[in-house]
Structure 1
Amino acid sequence: MNLSALRRRQGRVPPELAWPPFTWLSSGRAPRCLVVLAHPDDETIGLGARIGRLAPIEVIHMTDGAPRDSRFMPAELADVGRERYTAIRREEVTRALAVGNVPASKLRCLGAVDQEAIEEAPSLARKLLDLFARTRPEVVITHPYEGGHPDHDAAALAVHSAAVLAHWNGVTSPLIFEAASYHAARGHLVTGEFIPYPGIPEIALRLSDEEAARKRAMLDCFSSQKETLAPFGAEVERFRPAPTYDFRRPPHEGTLHYERLGFPIDGARWRKLAIMTLTLLGLGRERCL
């Protein structure tokens, strides 16, 4: 069963959560919400201005943010070792979320290695299934499948897979929403915008002066990521209900952003592992999630 069919059968979903204008993102009752993203700082990039208002049950990072290859660490930290770099990233996100009014007690890391989340996607999806059963979220906010980073795409795959598995196991599946991140569908880096998806509405929330100042202060907490975060602004945050994806196919034509960066994994390898994940989870016959 794909997620579109699943949603049609979920008569218990409050209409104010499921349909535009998605006012819960900016006012009114905040739903029971999980934030499930790939790395420490992705929550600030995607929804730093409103994460405190949403009061998430937990903020979950799929990875510890520390790659094995020191070439992908900031030059000034390349010699500190992966363990110390992991701790630095944890310290930074804890400070940032404190600025955003989210306590450290709500932070949770599922333990995958940066750039390698797709290798652990079956296990990550099962952990999310257990989390859905325990916390009963109404909404999960995660990444779009856009080829910006292999871990972003793995997070999307794991969340979508867990939602279907939840339905099969008699657990109410949360609505999946996406926060805009980055991609290279136009042949160059694009930040803060989605790859358009037919029939899927978007909401662009312009930040007030107070919200923008808070988000900039959160971004400033990530000293180790200063160069990486330089292209990201603090003017607008964009969200949309998750489309139904076919993770067996590339997210867009041409070279993916992480292929441009020379990551150890390319799109072809990622999709091979995605197919293996779906098969291991019993979703091999699901063409779309």
Structure 2
Amino acid sequence: MDTQTATPLDDFVRLRPRLFGIAYRMLGVRADAEDIVQEAWLRWQNGGSLEARTPEAWLVTVVTRLSIDRLRGALTERERYVGPWLPEPLVEDTAASPESALEAAGDLSTAFLLMLERLAPEERAVFLLHQVFDFDYAEVAATVGKTEAACRKVLQRARERVRAERPRFAVNRELHLELLGRFVQAARSADPAQVQALLAADATFTGDGGGKVKTTVRQVVGADRVGRLVAGIERKWSNADTRHDIITVNGAPGVLTWRNGMPDAITSIHIEDGRIAAIYVVRNPDKLGGLAGLRA
């Protein structure tokens, strides 16, 4: 596109995937991220496009600062959340823009988003902008309204909190698909030993029902306990109309489970050293709303 002829709308549409990507990674909730991007658009329309030196810097600054404010409120709400909280899954095949156009750059997995939960809102913003979206210190400082020196300290503190130098949560799609398929088959067998054989010794199972549907109220730890839990869940539903579909969740293969013709759960896994190290199951119906248009 010729930048000399680009309109404010053109600029916003071009940048929208990046804006949504920042907001979603900050908040972990699709609707909240969409609200932030919509608010940025309104401000862009109402004079922002006239005062901005560069569209990206202006819009990223607005989205980042709005996300920091929204996250501060969300953290208080999450303290009252019933059971473990998991990010709302983004299902690629069913997501409309801006989700379907979400930037592939950076990290999007459930495991990575949960790692970010260890950070305070400003730490999270600085970490994401620098580590994921490759903004330099000057750009980060201008975006969050701090000095470069302060941003360096914030990033150092953030790295320490998420164990600096830990590799990114890269996804080997072929390995992920193969192991996920074996996991589904093992779960269907309702045999704890078959499930356990795929798990790391310290594997975890985290379920998010939001207090609205049944799931584990605490994280389950250990291959033996997780294997028995997964097999037990499948046995419980053995007489129901159940189907497991392999889909793309947060940029990686995952499982959409149907019960009696309705979306019941989305399962993601995190792999380390060729074994399943973590299982994340979202059953909270509020977080499955994006699947409402699907049919079993």
Query: TM-score category by the smaller chain?
Result: under 0.3
Q: Hey, which of these two has a bigger chunk of helix by percent?
A: 2
The normalised TM-score by structure 1 is: 0.27
- Name which one, 1 or 2, has greater alpha-carbon Rg: 2
